[in-house]
Structure 1
Amino acid sequence: MAKLSPRLRTVNKSLPPYTLNEFGPDFPYILGREIVYLLASKGKGVLEGSEWEEIFAHCIGADWKPSNVGLDDVVLGNTAWGAKTVKSGVKDFRELKKIRLISGRNSIVYSYGGIIDTSADPNEVGGQVLEIWNERVSSIREKYKHLRTVVLVKSNDLSQVAVFEFDTIRYDPELFDFSWNTNGNLVGFDRGTDNKRFVWQPHGSQFTIIEEVPKCSLILKLKQPEVLDKAKILDAIGFDKSWVTVEKRE
């Protein structure tokens, strides 16, 4: 008699709000409107990291919850995002290849004790730097099933932006080779290749991850709006001196 395989009940998987990098048909227009308004109200192409966090949360209907860790600034259901911005001087964002993301301060002195020594085994130090990152990722994954990083690449005047996201992952130190460069910084490469993945600066402990820009990135080109007239806006809302209370310390 042939051995039968048992029939199992269907298990509902905990799915993210949407497939990676498939932001939805309205997303680019909501994002474009937010950036154009920012340009019109500020009068200059400046978009800070915290502003991008809030804008992205609005675009996908999520909650903006600024985090000290920086990996879960935006939350929607079972998914959290860390939001990053980076400038690029590339003329056509379709030609973007790689970007550098500052990803926190990984202090091996604080986490492991001892001192910074650039004569130490670079692979040992690199392993410590990655483990600090890994612990940070693990602490967030205990709370959220899915963890992503969403990146806004911006031109100097915000006339062009690119948006993409990727899963935020742990890194196995065994898969990378580390060495000290001539500036005294630690650099990490995919093992056996010259593909640079990490840079760690001992003084300041800044940790940078080098990411490839996916071909499916969303690219927006934006018309520059006229700057809003400050005096007209204040007049429209009825501003006068009574809105300001002046106090002095005795």
Structure 2
Amino acid sequence: MAEHKSPRLRTVEKIKPPYPLNQFPAGFGVNLGKEIVYVLATKNTPEIAGPEWEHIFANCVGAVWKPSNVGLDDIVLGNCAWSAKSIKTSKPHTQKMVRLISGRNSPSYSYDQKNLDVDPQIIGDLVLEIWNSRVDSLRAKFSHLRTVVLIKSKDLTELAVFEFETVLYPLDQFVWQENEEGNLEGFHKATKIHRFTWQPHGSQFTIIEPVPDDCLLIKINKPPRLDKGEVLKTLGYEDSWITVTRRNQTKPTL
């Protein structure tokens, strides 16, 4: 009888990501800067966040923007998926820590835990279990799961960008306690570092992440604003492009 052999499996470790963690593709910084220059030249308010940042990042790495309900896999490139976060601060290039709002984890909804006035450790563990469940479900679909963070100045002329692995958090490595505001804070047992905050009212879950020393720094010279009239003139705009009606009318309103 032939000797039984175990099948060769493709493990996560053997499946390479699109690029090494936090080592963005060639030209990424310039392409991102170009996107921001366009924003500054065309917007009344210098702001990017949410879906716009997701879309910009996807364009810069050649990925596909696919907004999801979970919010951890809005950007997809092959076997890798990203969640994109952005925060505003006065000095992005020297920021040491970021607070990332990471969904609403409700023990009341997910575990029917109606009484929240119990041992903070019980509630904190449930909060992390909800997070871990989301991450675990996506790890089954993607070999690599990451979070990309944009730290931006108020005027968008100074940026810092980094990414980190979106991971599971072992419950036994964190201790939870209530702060003066009535929110729960999770600390890493070994280092005593504050890693999470959870708010009972609204169930908002925040992850506190250190900014790596090798994060990408971008400085942008503020471009002149495009003149609206000149843009419309260049487009060859005519009033005939616009049709205005009322619901109870069939003919256009002048």
Q: TM-score, normalised by structure 1?
A: 0.92
Deviation at 1:99, TM superposition (A): 0.5
**Counterpart mapping for 1:23-102 below 5 A:** 23-90=24-91, 93-102=92-101
For residue 29 of structure 1, give the secondary structure of its aligned residue in structure 2: helix
Partner of 1:110: 109
Is the 1:28–1:220 contact (alpha carbons within 8 Å) kept by the matching residues of 2?
Answer: yes
* Percent of matched pairs sharing the same residue: 53
The number of equivalent residue pairs is 241
Is the 2:93–2:159 contact (alpha carbons within 8 Å) kept by the matching residues of 1?
Answer: no
Is the 1:78–1:145 contact (alpha carbons within 8 Å) kept by the matching residues of 2?
Answer: yes
Structure 2: 5+ residue runs without aligned partners? Answer: 249-254
Equivalent-residue separation in structure 1 for 2:8 and 2:144 (angstroms): 24
Deviation at 1:182, TM superposition (A): 0.9
Q: Match for 1:191: what amino acid?
A: K
Equivalent-residue separation in structure 2 for 1:204 and 1:71 (angstroms): 19
| 1:51-95 residue CA offsets vs partner (Å, 9 max, x unmatched) | 1100100001110111121101110000000000011123xx342
Equivalent-residue separation in structure 2 for 1:248 and 1:115 (angstroms): 49
Equivalent-residue separation in structure 1 for 2:150 and 2:139 (angstroms): 23
Equivalent-residue separation in structure 2 for 1:84 and 1:11 (angstroms): 30
Is the 2:99–2:209 contact (alpha carbons within 8 Å) kept by the matching residues of 1?
Answer: yes
1:152 equivalenced with 2:115 (yes/no):
no
Is the 1:177–1:192 contact (alpha carbons within 8 Å) kept by the matching residues of 2?
Answer: no
Equivalent-residue separation in structure 1 for 2:244 and 2:8 (angstroms): 68
Q: Match for 1:68: what amino acid?
A: N
Equivalent-residue separation in structure 1 for 2:59 and 2:124 (angstroms): 37
Equivalent-residue separation in structure 2 for 1:94 and 1:246 (angstroms): 48
> Which one of 194, 217, 236 corresponds to residue 196 of structure 1?
194
Partner of 1:228: 226
Partner of 1:168: 166
Partner of 2:129: 131
Equivalent-residue separation in structure 2 for 1:133 and 1:9 (angstroms): 31
Equivalent-residue separation in structure 2 for 1:81 and 1:117 (angstroms): 32
Partner of 1:217: 215
Deviation at 1:9, TM superposition (A): 8.2
1:121 equivalenced with 2:100 (yes/no):
no
Q: Which runs of 4+ in 1 moved over 3 A?
A: 8-12
Equivalent-residue separation in structure 2 for 1:11 and 1:217 (angstroms): 31
Equivalent-residue separation in structure 1 for 2:196 and 2:131 (angstroms): 12
Equivalent-residue separation in structure 1 for 2:47 and 2:191 (angstroms): 37
Equivalent-residue separation in structure 2 for 1:193 and 1:168 (angstroms): 20
- Aligned in 2, Cα 1:166/1:235: closer, same or farther, shift over 3 Å? same
User: RMSD across aligned C-alpha pairs, in angstroms?
Assistant: 1.8
Partner of 1:3: none
Structure 1: 5+ residue runs without aligned partners? Answer: 1-5
Is the 2:18–2:78 contact (alpha carbons within 8 Å) kept by the matching residues of 1?
Answer: yes
- Aligned in 2, Cα 1:10/1:108: closer, same or farther, shift over 3 Å? closer
Deviation at 1:186, TM superposition (A): 0.4
For residue 223 of structure 2, give the secondary structure of its aligned residue in structure 1: coil
Equivalent-residue separation in structure 1 for 2:64 and 2:114 (angstroms): 40
Deviation at 1:188, TM superposition (A): 0.3
Partner of 1:239: 237
Equivalent-residue separation in structure 2 for 1:115 and 1:205 (angstroms): 12
Q: Match for 1:33: what amino acid?
A: K
Q: TM-score, normalised by structure 2?
A: 0.90
Equivalent-residue separation in structure 2 for 1:116 and 1:9 (angstroms): 48
- Aligned in 2, Cα 1:116/1:184: closer, same or farther, shift over 3 Å? farther
- Aligned in 2, Cα 1:246/1:11: closer, same or farther, shift over 3 Å? closer
For residue 140 of structure 1, give the secondary structure of its aligned residue in structure 2: helix
